[in-house]
């Protein structure tokens, strides 16, 4: 039940009268010949669920003998390309890639590691880590990471909230205050993210999105990552939390911070304004 309940909080839903062949042909036509019809691409893909996009990809291969994602990469560029390729990636593969890039990079990208491990469900954490391990020849996880994964893979938000309440009664401090006081570095970030997610995953993502766009410059990587990974899960709730916590709506902030086809696609994923 929880998965269907959750699915209904997304802005992106499965298309009712879905025809994979028609979609594959429309996409093929949008990239054929000179120039690219970006509008068709973004309108179509943001109006299909991820599993429908996978069907389109398979049908495209059957009809045209080509890989849809490769064709899209060949036609598009920059942030818009990153966003569209993200939408074309199955959720588990997307998370595993995020994890792999976060660990494999020059320095470990703690932020992405923390976000994925703290915000996904227990089952997702187990699946992600399992799939990650399969892809790695050398075991990349140290003891510390293993401990975290074990804890995060078995946590219950409801149980954690009870623990935080009991802690507050005993110590007179909110859990977050104590974490900030007693810990530092990556451990502090992870613990804070786990606490925030136990309290409210949508509020955690609303805050993540706000700080990705606030001030000068935009953290497009974060913006893309959150909009792609939450569009079918809880974007409606993220929008509501965003409106509650910050002076503007998510829609208007994205609108003011981005441009072009990239902006159009993001706003379709956002799914509406909360004036």
Q: Does residue 1 surpass a pLDDT of 50?
A: no
Q: Does residue 186 surpass a pLDDT of 90?
A: no
Write down the pTM of the prediction.
Answer: 0.92
Q: Does residue 2 surpass a pLDDT of 70?
A: no
| pLDDT of amino acid 142 | 64
What is the set of domains in the chain, with CATH numbers? Answer: 20-91 (1.10.220.10)
Euclidean distance between CA atoms 58 and 74, whole angstroms? 18
Region for residue 35 given its phi and psi (left: phi exceeds 0; alpha: psi -120 to 50; beta: otherwise): left
Residues 108-140 pLDDT 10s? 788 898 999 899 999 999 899 899 888 776 755
Mean pLDDT of the chain: 92
- What is the gyration radius of the CA atoms in the chain, in angstroms? 20
Euclidean distance between CA atoms 122 and 260, whole angstroms? 37
| pLDDT of amino acid 145 | 65
Contact in structure between 14 and 242 (CB atoms under 8 Å): no
| pLDDT of amino acid 239 | 98
């Amino acid at each position: 039940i929880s998965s269907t309940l959750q699915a209904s909080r997304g802005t992106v839903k499965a298309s009712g009268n879905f025809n994979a062949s028609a979609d594959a042909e429309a996409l093929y036509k949008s990239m054929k010949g000179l120039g690219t019809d970006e509008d068709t691409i973004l309108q179509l893909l943001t109006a299909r669920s991820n599993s429908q996009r996978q069907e389109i990809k398979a049908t495209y291969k059957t009809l045209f003998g080509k890989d849809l994602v490769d064709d899209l990469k060949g036609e598009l560029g920059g942030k818009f390309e990153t966003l569209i390729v993200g939408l074309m990636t199955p959720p588990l593969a997307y998370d595993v890639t995020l994890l792999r890039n976060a660990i494999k990079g020059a320095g470990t990208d703690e932020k992405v590691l923390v976000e994925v491990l703290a915000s996904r469900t227990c089952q997702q954490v187990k699946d992600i880590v399992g799939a990650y391990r399969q892809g790695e020849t050398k075991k990349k996880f140290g003891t510390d990471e293993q401990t975290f994964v074990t804890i995060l893979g078995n946590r219950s938000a409801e149980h954690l909230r009870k623990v935080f309440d009991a802690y507050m009664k005993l110590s007179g401090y909110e859990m977050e205050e104590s974490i900030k006081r007693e810990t530092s570095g990556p451990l502090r970030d992870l613990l804070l993210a786990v606490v925030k997610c136990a309290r409210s995953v949508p509020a955690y993502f609303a805050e993540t999105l706000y700080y990705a766009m606030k001030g000068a410059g935009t953290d497009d990587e974060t913006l893309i990552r959150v909009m792609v990974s939450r569009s079918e899960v809880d974007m409606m709730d993220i929008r509501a939390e965003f409106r509650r916590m910050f002076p503007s709506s998510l829609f208007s902030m994205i609108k003011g911070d981005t441009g072009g086809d990239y902006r159009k696609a993001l706003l379709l994923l956002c799914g509406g304004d909360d004036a």
